[in-house]
Amino acid sequence: MPAVVLLTMLPFTWFGMVAAISFLETPLKFRAPGMTHALGVGIGRLVFKALNSIEAVLALAVLAAWLLSPATVTPAAGVLLVVAMAALALQLLVLRPAMAKRTAALSRTALTHDGGTAVKAKVGTSTHIAYISSEAVKVLALPVAGILIVLGVAG
């Protein structure tokens, strides 16, 4: 029974974290008065490192609950969960390491800026676009998987 509870709760929790950070906090941060590019990039690096770490724990918890209660996860929900986990793995193993070099360089360069005016975030690389796209994949896959699991449990 605890596995069923986790499987009905965790995909929504994971979805909420990604949606709030990636599609609400991140764009708004760069619109704050006085926000410099260096500060925004520095905050982003910290926030996304923490988010991805928590996501990894959530993904492992989902996987463990799924293994404990495999009948709870319909095939369609399973595919969506695997897609979300694959998107996270891509971010952790490929995209964030590639972006880390660029954001570190931007932070070092921007630290010499006088910080007098706010700047808007600019998506500068295909890696960043791939990261945003992988976030969108998770935001679409996780709630649908969660709904399918809840419907399966209720039905």
Residue-wise pLDDT for 74-105, tens only, equals 999 999 999 999 999 999 999 999 988 777 76
Residue-wise pLDDT for 40-55, tens only, equals 888 888 999 999 999 9
Which among 97, 89, 87 is positioned nearest to 132, based on CA atoms?
A: 87
CB 9 within 8 A of CB 143: no
117 SS3 class: coil
User: Taking the model in full, what pTM does it have?
Assistant: 0.87
